[in-house]
């Protein structure tokens, strides 16, 4: 039931055609505090038409309106405040959540349209950075939101697995590397070779020559070069897979940059056909002055293609393969210009679907307010962060609930969940500071707090011997404390809609914190298990809270242990 519509209908009737229904609907506000009712209608916009003071209009509305379905309707200054009938409203919402379960909040926005999401996309032979973590967890949550709103997400890991750096890596490996070393610790060893290469090529420029030669061999399909490249890719991917396993993230495609090698010529000829390529100092560019953008560099002097050329090929491939409704790129905001250029070039090529491409940017993770920097030693290694978070969670559980069953599993769920939640509770464009102790706290605005609230709801239901709820029963609650929880539960579908349309998982994370807080307040003020005629209704409320918290966490990619 759309309560906003109920209010609108009542107003439209009493105002008798002086204002259109959709206008009334738009004007309705949600008051800041429940004391001002559930909806408020401002009368000022009517003053001109009705030639009356807004206060007067508000009073007249209250005198003449049909109060059916409301607890009360009052005029406060120029506002008309509507209080919903708590008994009916609570019965309806609880009924809905109890019968729909985890499907509560499902809705059709996408009509089944497919949406490739370019996400995570770390670079082979380098450690996965905190930026890649952000892309992974934001992309994963957006995928779940899209599924809930009837889109078909396709998660693509556009691995950085091609480029001249592989020439350097092969050269470095041939000079200083060994198979056993790489096998034992692939990412760190490969990184070490690469860093050493950059140190030594300062005094030995011939190394660069050699590296270029190796990359040329790789491009020409030389057996040894291709073998090494494949091996590095595989070893790196294995270690990335470990992290994805811990985070619980899966991909539908690992087509990285190399996948487009045989698709580059076509892109270049398409650009030629549209007379878009211009020569500039020996390189081939597309001029984007009319978009106020720097030219897109398509081909270097030596004929090598660039990052954007590959992204053009990838965008076209995705359109052909998935016939997408939208195509998303969850990539840090430092690449905003790159994606503007990408869209502009596609649009110049006459590909009108370029409007369906959306860059979903996000801010930086800082430490002590400073940018992370490998050179300054401010690095955060993802694997360490996850390990440490799990250890901290273990300590907290040992202190709070030493007899917990499955302690280790729960510590994993809490530690990893805390890291994911901390990332997602911030609006994605905001930079945020990383402080592990803060992340894993059981109180405050943290993932463990929401998980803990969910576990508390589950434990109340266990204490009540997991009651069966009858879908024909009316579970009515009319007290103030439950009202706050019920109105929060009622907004969940709107929250999902907003989070999806804004590509903003933080909307769900913040919501889950508010719901958890309202529930904990309810729990502190109410004897839920006392035997009276409302006991089952209160338990229906607890069950609904558990359902919605669980579903919120699931949409964020965070697990919800039943006990902790
Ligand atoms: N590998 C790139 C990096 O680490 C991100 C790739 C993003 N995706 C894309 N289609 N350009 O910066």
Confirm if 19 and 45 have CB atoms less than 8 A apart: yes
pLDDT at site 375: 61
Q: Is the pLDDT of residue 374 over 70?
A: no
Interval between CA 275 and ligand 1 midpoint (Å): 28
Question: Cα of 121 to ligand 1 centre, how many Å?
Answer: 5
pLDDT score recorded for residue 17: 81
Probe target for ligand 1 pocket from 158, 311, 318, 357, with the most ligand atoms within 8 Å of CB = 158
Give pLDDT, residue 139.
Answer: 98
How many Å lie between the centroid of ligand 1 and the Cα of residue 211?
23
**DSSP H or E segment with residue 302:** none
pLDDT at residue 471 in the model: 81
Spatial strand order of the sheet with 365-367 comes to: 370-371, 365-367, 432-433
| 404 pLDDT above the threshold of 80 | yes
Residues with Cβ within 8 Å of residue 506, at least 6 apart in sequence:
424, 425, 426, 427, 428, 499
Residues touching ligand 1 (Cβ under 6 Å) are 118, 121, 123, 158, 160, 311, 314, 329, 331
Distance between CA 311 and CA 286 in Å, rounded?
14
Helix or strand holding residue 43 (H, E): none
Helices then strands, counting H and E runs in the chain, come out as 22, 13
Under a CB-based contact definition with an 8 Å cutoff, are residues 95 and 474 in contact? yes
Distance from the CA of 476 to the center of ligand 1, in angstroms? 52
Residue of 335, 337, 345, 357 best suited for mutating to test ligand 1, as the one with most atoms within 8 Å of CB: 335
Lowest mean pLDDT among 341-355, 477-491, 549-563: 477-491
pLDDT at 372: 75
State whether the Cα torsion 479-485-486-491 is positive or negative.
positive
Which residue's C-alpha comes closest to atom 11 of ligand 1?
A: 311
Ligand 1 atom 5 nearest Cα: 121
How close is the Cα of 307 to the center of ligand 1, in Å? Answer: 9
> At how many degrees (to 10) do helices 130-148 and 535-556 cross?
130
Q: Of all atoms in ligand 1, which is nearest to the CA of residue 314? A: 10
Average pLDDT over residues 137-160: 98
Nearest atom within ligand 1 for CA of residue 132: 4
- The distance between the two most distant Cα atoms of the chain, rounded to a whole number of Å, is 91
In this prediction, residue 262 carries a pLDDT of 95
What is the pLDDT averaged over residues 116-136?
93
Distance in angstroms (rounded) separating the CA atoms of residues 300 and 302? 5
pLDDT at 9: 93
Tens digit of each residue's pLDDT (9 = 90 or more) over 293-349 = 999 999 988 877 789 999 999 999 999 999 999 999 999 999 999 999 999 999 999
Tell me what percent of the chain is helix, strand and coil, each rounded to the nearest 5.
Answer: 60, 10, 30
Percent share of the chain, pLDDT over 70: 99
pLDDT above 70: residue 361: yes
Res. 18: pLDDT tops 90: no
Report pLDDT for 376. Answer: 66
**Mean pLDDT over each residue of the chain, to the nearest integer:** 94
CA of 258 to the centre of ligand 1 (A): 12
What is the 158 CA–ligand 1 centroid distance (Å)?
Answer: 7
**Which of the pair, 74 or 433, is modelled with greater confidence?**
74
Q: What is the pLDDT of residue 186?
A: 87
Q: Are 137 and 423 in contact (CB under 8 A)?
A: yes
Report the relative pairing of strands 79-84 and 39-42 from DSSP bridges: antiparallel
The band of 126, judged by pLDDT with boundaries at 50, 70 and 90, is confident
Q: Is the ipTM of this complex over 0.95?
A: yes
The sheet carrying 283-286 orders its strands as: 277-280, 283-286, 296-299
**Tokens 């990412």 — which residue?**
187
Domain ranges (residues) in the chain: 3-84, 382-556
Q: How far is residue 441's CA from residue 396's CA, in Å, rounded to a whole number? A: 8
- What is the pLDDT at residue 371? 79
- Only one residue has tokens 């750096």, namely 165
Return the best residue to mutate from 117, 119, 120, 121 for the ligand 1 pocket (most ligand atoms within 8 A of CB).
121
Q: Is 40 helix (H, G, I), strand (E, B) or coil?
A: strand
Residue 257 CA: nearest ligand 1 atom is 10
Mean pLDDT of 159-184: 93
Nearest CA to ligand 1 atom 3: 122
* Residue range 198-255, pLDDT digits in tens: 899 889 999 999 999 999 999 999 999 999 999 999 999 998 999 999 999 999 999 9
Question: In percent, how much of the chain has pLDDT > 90?
Answer: 83
Cβ–Cβ < 8 Å for 93, 486: yes
* Whole-number pLDDT of residue 365: 87
Return the half-sphere exposure (C-beta side, CA atoms, 13 A cut-off) of residue 74: 9
Dihedral of the alpha carbons of 52, 55, 57, 61, in degrees to the nearest 10 = -170
Are 440 and 392 a contacting pair, CB within 8 Å? yes
| Minimal-distance CA residue to ligand 1 atom 4 | 122
What CATH architecture is 382-556?
Orthogonal Bundle (1.10)
Please tell me the distance from the alpha carbon of residue 345 to that of residue 70, in angstroms, as a whole number.
56
**Residues forming beta bridges with residue 156, ordered by sequence position:** 118, 253
Q: What is the pTM of this model?
A: 0.93
Residue identifier of the C-alpha nearest atom 1 of ligand 1: 160
- What is the phi-psi region of residue 120: left when phi exceeds 0, alpha when psi lies from -120 to 50, beta otherwise? left
Nearest to 556 by CA among 445, 433, 422: 422
Most ligand 1 atoms within 8 A of CB, residue of 136, 308, 331, 336 to mutate: 331
Ligand 1 centre from 390 Cα, in Å? 29
Instruction: Give dist(CA 351, CA 256) in Å, integer.
Output: 23
Which letter does DSSP use for residue 36 in this model? G
259's CB contacts (< 8 A; 6+ apart) are 314
* The pLDDT of residue 362: 97
Exposed, middle or buried by CB within 10 Å (0-12, 13-18, 19+), for 112?
exposed
Helix (H, G, I), strand (E, B) or coil at 183: helix
Lowest mean pLDDT segment, chosen from 334-348, 402-416, 472-486: 472-486
CATH fold for the domain made of 3-84: Gyrase A; domain 2 (3.30.1360)
8 A C-beta contact, residue 97 and residue 104: yes
Sorted by sequence, the CB contacts under 8 Å of residue 3 that are 6+ apart come out as 38, 39, 84, 89, 490
Between 303 and 492, the higher pLDDT residue: 492
């Amino acid at each position: 039931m759309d309560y906003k519509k109920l209010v609108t209908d009542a107003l439209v009737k009493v105002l008798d055609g002086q204002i259109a229904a959709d206008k009334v609907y738009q004007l309705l506000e949600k008051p800041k505090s429940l004391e001002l009712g559930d909806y408020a209608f401002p009368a000022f916009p009517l003053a001109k038409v009705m030639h009356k003071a807004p206060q007067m209009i508000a009073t007249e509305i209250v005198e003449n309106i049909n109060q059916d379905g409301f607890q009360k309707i009052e005029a406060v200054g120029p506002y008309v405040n509507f209080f919903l009938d708590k008994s009916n409203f609570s019965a309806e919402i609880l009924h809905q959540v109890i019968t729909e379960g985890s499907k509560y909040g499902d809705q059709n926005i996408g009509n089944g349209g497919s949406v490739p999401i370019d996400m995570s996309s770390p670079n082979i032979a380098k450690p996965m950075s905190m930026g890649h973590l952000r892309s992974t967890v934001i992309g994963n949550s957006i995928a779940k939101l899209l599924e809930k709103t009837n889109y078909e997400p396709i998660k693509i890991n556009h691995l950085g697995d091609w480029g001249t750096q592989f020439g350097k890596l092969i050269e470095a490996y041939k000079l200083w590397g060994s198979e056993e070393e790489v096998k034992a610790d692939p990412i760190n060893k490969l990184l070490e070779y690469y860093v050493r290469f950059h140190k030594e090529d300062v005094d030995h420029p011939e190394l660069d020559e050699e590296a270029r030669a190796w990359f040329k061999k790789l491009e020409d399909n030389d057996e040894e070069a291709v073998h090494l490249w494949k091996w590095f890719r595989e070893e790196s991917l294995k270690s990335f897979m470990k992290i994805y396993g811990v985070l619980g993230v899966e991909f539908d495609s690992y087509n990285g940059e190399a996948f487009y090698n045989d698709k580059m010529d076509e892109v270049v000829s398409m650009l030629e056909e549209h007379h878009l390529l211009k020569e500039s100092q020996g390189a081939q560019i597309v001029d984007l002055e009319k978009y106020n953008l720097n030219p897109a560099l398509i081909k270097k002097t030596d004929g090598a293609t660039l990052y954007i050329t590959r992204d053009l090929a990838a965008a076209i491939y995705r359109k052909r393969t998935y016939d997408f409704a939208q195509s998303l790129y969850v990539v840090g905001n430092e690449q905003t210009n790159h994606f503007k250029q990408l869209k502009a070039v596609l649009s110049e090529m006459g590909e009108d679907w370029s409007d369906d491409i959306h860059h979903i940017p996000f801010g930086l993770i800082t430490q002590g307010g400073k940018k992370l920097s490998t050179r300054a030693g401010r690095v955060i290694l993802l694997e360490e962060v996850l390990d440490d978070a799990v250890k901290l969670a273990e300590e907290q559980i040992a202190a709070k609930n030493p007899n917990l069953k499955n302690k280790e599993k729960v510590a994993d769920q809490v530690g990893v969940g805390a890291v994911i939640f901390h990332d997602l509770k911030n609006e994605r464009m905001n930079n945020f500071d990383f402080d592990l102790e803060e992340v894993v706290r059981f109180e405050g605005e943290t993932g463990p707090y929401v998980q803990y609230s969910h576990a508390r709801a589950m434990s109340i239901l266990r204490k009540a011997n997991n009651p069966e709820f009858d879908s024909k029963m009316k579970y009515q609650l009319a007290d103030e404390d439950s009202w706050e929880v019920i109105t929060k539960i009622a907004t969940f579908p709107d929250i999902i809609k907003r989070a999806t349309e804004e590509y903003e998982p933080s909307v769900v994370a913040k919501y889950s914190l508010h719901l958890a807080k309202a529930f904990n307040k309810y729990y502190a003020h109410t004897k839920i298990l006392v035997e009276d005629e409302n006991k089952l209704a209160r338990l229906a409320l607890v069950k609904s809270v558990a359902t919605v918290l669980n579903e919120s966490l699931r949409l964020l990619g965070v697990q919800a242990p039943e006990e902790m």
